[in-house]
Amino acid sequence: MKPENIELVQKSWFLIAQMDKKVLGKLFYTRLFKIAPEVKPMFNKRTMPAQYEKLLDMLSYIIHHVDHLDTIAENIAGLAKRHVAYGVKAEHYQAVGTALLWSLGQGFGKYWEEEFTVAWNEVYGIIAAKMIAAGIN
């Protein structure tokens, strides 16, 4: 990963993480279910507020360690295996990435710039590839 992209992702995440988790989580999952309706049955709508928190906590953890992912490789592998058990397939990661970037852009509003999109695409792509590989093995 390019160091400047890591820095952009971490700085932008610091700002996004200040948002209400329920608002950002709802934005993300609403968008995800719109573009990938087949994943909606994997979730219990009564527990979605807790899911919003889990998503954002895990993203915070990963983004905090993004410059040294090797130190959390076991955690990423465990997360990937849990996702496979829920029914997540490799092709779902594209929809998740799309929903994530859209949600981040909504959170930043007019301040979201193309350089953020490039940085987040690179970082998310690497993390998603690691999760796909770990989930398959």
Angle among Cα 12, 16, 18 to the nearest 5 degrees reads: 125
Token output for 92:
């779902």
Which domains, from first to last, does the chain contain? 3-136 (1.10.490.10)
**pTM to 2 decimal places:** 0.90
User: pLDDT tier at 20 (50, 70, 90 boundaries)?
Assistant: confident
Model confidence over 35-49: pLDDT tens digits? 999 999 999 888 898
Question: Which among 126, 125, 127, 122 has a CA at the least distance from the CA of 5?
Answer: 122
Q: What residues contact 68, with CB distance under 8 A and at least 6 apart?
A: none
Token output for 56:
């954002």
CA end-to-end span of the chain: 23
